[in-house]
Amino acid sequence: MPRLLLVIAEIISFKEYRYLKLNTQIMKNKKLLLIGLTAFLFSCSSSMDKKFNEETAKEDIESIKGKIDSTELQLLAGSMIRLKFQDKKLEEMTYGEILEDGKKWKAEQEKKEAEQKALAEKAAKEEAERIKKLTEAVIVSCFEKGFTEYNYDDYITYKFVIKNKSDKNIRAVKGGITFTNLFDEKISSLNFVYDQPIEAGTEITWNAQTDYNQFKDEDKTLRNKDLKDLKVVWKPEKIIFEDGTTLE
């Protein structure tokens, strides 16, 4: 080949010769690359086509390393453990088949997770819409908190304001009140039930109390915190109107 190139160089320009020589070198490099790639693929294929053997598994994995990416390598190792726990006969499977099983399993898991996520998002959206409708009808807030003793028993006292924002008279309201600190960390919560009429577009005040337990941290924290250092979260559950209709 070099002699042939010299002969050609005598009948073409130096520039053309350099161009031809360069392209010849590129062709050689491509040929070497193709040979290397073929050897790599054959090596990888032969490793992945090998049947699983627990005694040689460590050496087999070492030979596969670098021939598949780290994600697939982790999936292969994880699939071997999973299939082993499932009492599958790994000895009847090649490493390639184990990896393919892992990919299918992973795809199924991702599909399930996507379905669960979509379901949870749908439920959360519906719950937010429900709370919004209820809050648009009635709102409750606490404007005073205190402490009292009566007949040797202790109580935390509250004064609530309840506003009927709807255009219908309310017969009863049910929900929950949660007291949190300024970082939205829950301190205490109580069930809220008011079963006296509230005319449309009006607001009323209501005094309530809960038992105080000196051995409960949440009660002690709630008693000692000033209302200005608390957040009052109203979560309505159900409203019964005087016309018999309900909102929940």
What is the structure's pLDDT at 240? Answer: 97
Could you tell me whether strands 170-180 and 186-194 are parallel, antiparallel, or unpaired per DSSP bridges?
A: antiparallel
| 167 domain-assigned | yes
- Domain residues for the domain of 179 are 137-247
What is the structure's pLDDT at 25? Answer: 53
What is the structure's pLDDT at 27? Answer: 43
The DSSP element (H or E) to which 10 belongs, if any, is helix 2-11
CATH number of the structural domain spanning residue 187: 2.60.40
Q: How many CB atoms within 10 Å of residue 176?
A: 15
- 3-class secondary-structure state, position 87: coil
| 239 domain-assigned | yes
| 220 domain-assigned | yes
**Across residues 210-222, what is the average pLDDT?**
95
Across 70-185, where does the E strand assignment appear?
Answer: 138-150, 153-164, 170-180
What is the structure's pLDDT at 177? Answer: 96
| 193 domain-assigned | yes
Query: What single letter denotes the amino acid at residue 62?
Result: E
Q: Give tens-digit pLDDT for 13-64.
A: 444 444 434 444 544 454 444 444 444 444 445 788 999 888 888 888 888 8
CA pair distance 49, 52, nearest whole angstrom? 9
Q: Helix, strand, coil proportions of the chain in percent (round to 5)?
A: 50, 30, 20
Q: Give tens-digit pLDDT for 66-118.
A: 788 889 989 998 998 899 899 888 899 999 999 999 999 999 999 999 999 99
- 3-class secondary-structure state, position 185: coil
What is the structure's pLDDT at 53? Answer: 87
CA pair distance 136, 130, nearest whole angstrom? 10
Q: Give tens-digit pLDDT for 114-160.
A: 999 999 999 999 999 999 999 999 999 999 999 999 888 999 999 99
What is the structure's pLDDT at 47? Answer: 82
Strand order in the sheet with 170-180: 186-194, 170-180, 231-241, 246-247
pLDDT over 70 at 202, yes or no: yes
CA pair distance 226, 231, nearest whole angstrom? 10
| 232 domain-assigned | yes
| 149 domain-assigned | yes
Contacts with 231 (C-beta within 8 Å, 6 or more apart), sequence order: 179, 180, 181, 182, 184
CA pair distance 4, 246, nearest whole angstrom? 98
| 28 domain-assigned | no
What is the structure's pLDDT at 129? Answer: 92
What is the DSSP code (8-state) at residue 188? E
CA pair distance 209, 143, nearest whole angstrom? 14
Total domain count, the chain: 1
Closest CA to 238 of 228, 229, 248: 248
The DSSP element (H or E) to which 136 belongs, if any, is helix 95-137
What is the structure's pLDDT at 44? Answer: 45
Closest CA to 212 of 170, 173, 172, 156: 156
Q: Give tens-digit pLDDT for 150-200.
A: 888 999 999 999 999 999 999 999 999 999 999 999 999 999 999 999 999
pLDDT band at 2 (very low <50, low <70, confident <90, very high): very low
Percent of the chain with pLDDT over 90: 62
| 42 domain-assigned | no
CA pair distance 199, 201, nearest whole angstrom? 6
